[in-house]
Amino acid sequence: MEMDLMPAAAYEKSQSASGRVSCLIMFKSFSDRPHELFIPERYGQVMEFVLSDVEIARTYTPSSGKLPGGRMCSLKKRFFKHAGVDRFNVVSAGADFEDVVTALEREGREQETLVFQFFLNLSEPCVGKAVEVLRKKGYFFGGCVPRWFDADGMLMQKVMQPPSFDSPRLHSEKSRQLLELVRKDWEELQG
Protein backbone atom coordinates (compact mmCIF):
# COMPACT_ATOMS: atom_id res chain seq x y z
CA MET A 1 0.00 0.00 0.00
CA GLU A 2 1.88 3.06 -1.28
CA MET A 3 0.31 5.91 0.68
CA ASP A 4 -0.25 9.27 -1.05
CA LEU A 5 1.97 8.19 -3.94
CA MET A 6 0.64 10.25 -6.85
CA PRO A 7 -0.46 13.90 -7.08
CA ALA A 8 -4.07 14.68 -8.02
CA ALA A 9 -2.74 16.43 -11.15
CA ALA A 10 -1.87 13.00 -12.59
CA TYR A 11 -5.62 12.30 -12.69
CA GLU A 12 -6.69 15.70 -14.00
CA LYS A 13 -8.08 14.37 -17.28
CA SER A 14 -10.36 11.85 -15.56
CA GLN A 15 -11.10 14.23 -12.67
CA SER A 16 -11.00 11.25 -10.33
CA ALA A 17 -8.85 12.62 -7.51
CA SER A 18 -8.99 15.69 -5.31
CA GLY A 19 -5.83 14.98 -3.33
CA ARG A 20 -2.82 12.67 -3.45
CA VAL A 21 -3.64 9.13 -4.55
CA SER A 22 -2.54 5.96 -2.79
CA CYS A 23 -1.74 2.84 -4.79
CA LEU A 24 -2.11 -0.82 -3.93
CA ILE A 25 0.83 -2.89 -5.19
CA MET A 26 -0.46 -5.98 -6.98
CA PHE A 27 1.56 -8.85 -8.36
CA LYS A 28 1.23 -12.30 -9.83
CA SER A 29 3.97 -14.90 -9.73
CA PHE A 30 4.39 -16.74 -13.03
CA SER A 31 7.70 -18.37 -12.18
CA ASP A 32 8.47 -18.74 -8.51
CA ARG A 33 11.95 -19.08 -7.03
CA PRO A 34 11.77 -20.66 -3.58
CA HIS A 35 14.09 -18.95 -1.10
CA GLU A 36 14.56 -17.94 2.52
CA LEU A 37 13.06 -14.70 3.83
CA PHE A 38 14.24 -12.95 6.97
CA ILE A 39 11.22 -11.40 8.62
CA PRO A 40 11.56 -8.44 11.02
CA GLU A 41 10.05 -9.53 14.34
CA ARG A 42 7.89 -6.40 14.52
CA TYR A 43 6.14 -7.34 11.27
CA GLY A 44 5.93 -11.14 11.58
CA GLN A 45 2.14 -11.30 11.84
CA VAL A 46 1.60 -8.61 9.22
CA MET A 47 3.86 -10.39 6.73
CA GLU A 48 2.08 -13.68 7.46
CA PHE A 49 -1.22 -11.97 6.66
CA VAL A 50 0.09 -10.37 3.45
CA LEU A 51 1.60 -13.62 2.14
CA SER A 52 -1.05 -16.03 3.48
CA ASP A 53 -2.84 -16.60 0.17
CA VAL A 54 0.08 -16.04 -2.19
CA GLU A 55 1.19 -19.16 -4.03
CA ILE A 56 4.94 -18.90 -3.47
CA ALA A 57 7.39 -21.19 -1.68
CA ARG A 58 9.33 -19.45 1.09
CA THR A 59 11.15 -20.39 4.24
CA TYR A 60 10.52 -17.79 6.94
CA THR A 61 13.29 -17.04 9.43
CA PRO A 62 13.19 -14.30 12.08
CA SER A 63 15.55 -11.47 11.19
CA SER A 64 18.47 -11.14 13.56
CA GLY A 65 21.93 -9.73 13.65
CA LYS A 66 23.42 -6.29 13.36
CA LEU A 67 24.00 -4.23 10.27
CA PRO A 68 27.23 -5.64 8.80
CA GLY A 69 30.21 -3.65 10.13
CA GLY A 70 32.54 -4.34 7.22
CA ARG A 71 30.13 -3.48 4.44
CA MET A 72 28.69 -0.22 3.15
CA CYS A 73 25.11 0.25 2.04
CA SER A 74 24.31 -0.58 -1.58
CA LEU A 75 21.16 0.95 -3.03
CA LYS A 76 19.60 2.26 -6.19
CA LYS A 77 17.83 5.61 -6.10
CA ARG A 78 15.05 6.89 -8.30
CA PHE A 79 13.42 10.32 -8.00
CA PHE A 80 10.03 10.85 -9.61
CA LYS A 81 9.98 14.65 -9.80
CA HIS A 82 6.41 14.93 -11.17
CA ALA A 83 5.14 12.94 -8.17
CA GLY A 84 7.54 14.22 -5.52
CA VAL A 85 8.59 10.65 -4.70
CA ASP A 86 12.06 9.39 -3.78
CA ARG A 87 12.38 5.59 -4.07
CA PHE A 88 15.37 3.69 -2.74
CA ASN A 89 15.93 0.01 -3.44
CA VAL A 90 18.29 -1.18 -0.71
CA VAL A 91 20.13 -4.13 -2.25
CA SER A 92 22.16 -4.51 0.94
CA ALA A 93 22.18 -2.48 4.14
CA GLY A 94 25.58 -1.75 5.62
CA ALA A 95 27.09 -0.23 8.72
CA ASP A 96 26.46 3.25 7.28
CA PHE A 97 22.73 2.69 6.68
CA GLU A 98 21.49 5.28 9.19
CA ASP A 99 23.88 7.93 7.86
CA VAL A 100 22.85 7.12 4.28
CA VAL A 101 19.15 7.50 5.16
CA THR A 102 19.85 10.85 6.87
CA ALA A 103 21.75 12.14 3.82
CA LEU A 104 19.09 10.93 1.37
CA GLU A 105 16.34 12.61 3.38
CA ARG A 106 18.27 15.88 3.52
CA GLU A 107 18.73 15.76 -0.27
CA GLY A 108 15.04 14.88 -0.69
CA ARG A 109 13.87 17.83 1.39
CA GLU A 110 15.99 20.13 -0.82
CA GLN A 111 14.18 18.83 -3.92
CA GLU A 112 10.80 18.99 -2.15
CA THR A 113 10.20 15.25 -1.86
CA LEU A 114 6.76 14.49 -0.42
CA VAL A 115 7.04 10.68 -0.19
CA PHE A 116 10.10 8.61 0.71
CA GLN A 117 10.07 4.88 -0.02
CA PHE A 118 12.66 2.33 1.05
CA PHE A 119 12.36 -1.16 -0.40
CA LEU A 120 14.41 -3.52 1.78
CA ASN A 121 15.83 -6.86 0.66
CA LEU A 122 14.25 -9.65 2.74
CA SER A 123 17.07 -12.05 1.85
CA GLU A 124 19.32 -10.13 4.27
CA PRO A 125 19.44 -11.48 7.85
CA CYS A 126 19.92 -7.91 9.17
CA VAL A 127 16.77 -6.49 7.56
CA GLY A 128 15.12 -6.14 10.98
CA LYS A 129 17.83 -3.68 12.07
CA ALA A 130 17.32 -1.65 8.88
CA VAL A 131 13.58 -1.55 9.65
CA GLU A 132 14.28 -0.22 13.16
CA VAL A 133 16.57 2.51 11.76
CA LEU A 134 13.77 3.60 9.44
CA ARG A 135 11.07 3.46 12.12
CA LYS A 136 13.20 5.71 14.32
CA LYS A 137 13.02 8.23 11.48
CA GLY A 138 9.23 7.98 11.05
CA TYR A 139 8.86 5.23 8.42
CA PHE A 140 5.92 2.86 8.51
CA PHE A 141 5.01 -0.42 6.84
CA GLY A 142 3.84 -0.47 3.23
CA GLY A 143 3.87 -4.11 2.19
CA CYS A 144 5.76 -7.06 0.81
CA VAL A 145 6.64 -7.40 -2.86
CA PRO A 146 7.72 -10.85 -4.05
CA ARG A 147 10.77 -10.98 -6.33
CA TRP A 148 11.44 -7.21 -6.09
CA PHE A 149 15.19 -7.96 -5.85
CA ASP A 150 14.74 -11.45 -7.32
CA ALA A 151 14.43 -12.13 -3.58
CA ASP A 152 11.38 -10.56 -1.97
CA GLY A 153 11.29 -6.96 -0.80
CA MET A 154 9.54 -5.03 1.94
CA LEU A 155 8.30 -1.44 1.62
CA MET A 156 8.84 1.10 4.40
CA GLN A 157 7.54 4.59 3.64
CA LYS A 158 7.41 8.10 5.02
CA VAL A 159 4.92 10.74 3.90
CA MET A 160 5.72 14.36 4.71
CA GLN A 161 2.12 15.15 5.66
CA PRO A 162 -0.39 12.93 7.49
CA PRO A 163 -1.44 10.24 4.98
CA SER A 164 -5.01 10.26 3.72
CA PHE A 165 -6.17 6.86 4.99
CA ASP A 166 -9.82 7.58 4.17
CA SER A 167 -9.26 8.22 0.45
CA PRO A 168 -8.21 4.84 -1.03
CA ARG A 169 -10.99 3.11 -2.93
CA LEU A 170 -10.34 -0.54 -2.21
CA HIS A 171 -12.43 -3.40 -3.56
CA SER A 172 -11.31 -6.48 -1.64
CA GLU A 173 -11.63 -7.24 2.04
CA LYS A 174 -7.93 -8.15 2.21
CA SER A 175 -6.86 -4.78 0.76
CA ARG A 176 -9.06 -2.96 3.29
CA GLN A 177 -7.52 -5.01 6.11
CA LEU A 178 -4.04 -4.21 4.79
CA LEU A 179 -4.87 -0.50 4.79
CA GLU A 180 -5.92 -0.78 8.45
CA LEU A 181 -2.64 -2.53 9.33
CA VAL A 182 -0.70 0.24 7.58
CA ARG A 183 -2.78 2.89 9.39
CA LYS A 184 -2.15 1.25 12.78
CA ASP A 185 1.59 1.15 12.13
CA TRP A 186 1.60 4.86 11.19
CA GLU A 187 -0.51 5.74 14.24
CA GLU A 188 1.88 3.84 16.51
CA LEU A 189 4.71 6.06 15.27
CA GLN A 190 2.65 9.19 16.02
CA GLY A 191 1.78 8.00 19.53
Asked if CATH classification 2.30.30 holds for the domain at 34-158+169-190, the reply, yes or no, is: no
| Domain boundaries, given as residue ranges, for the chain | 34-158+169-190
Instruction: Round to whole Å and give the CA distance between 68 and 70.
Output: 6
Bridge-based pairing of strands 2-6 and 21-23 is antiparallel
By residue count, the chain amounts to 191
User: How confident is the model at residue 122, as a pLDDT?
Assistant: 96
**What pLDDT, on a 0 to 100 scale, did the predictor assign at position 58?**
87
What residues have CB less than 8 Å from 179, skipping those under 6 apart? 1, 165, 168, 170
Nearest to 16 by CA among 167, 173, 159: 167
Provide the pLDDT for residue 142. Answer: 96
Q: What is the pTM assigned to this prediction?
A: 0.92
In angstroms, the CA 191 to CA 186 distance is 9
Ordered mean pLDDT values, 10 residues apiece, the chain (191 residues)? 82 62 82 87 92 83 89 95 95 96 96 96 96 97 90 95 90 93 96 83
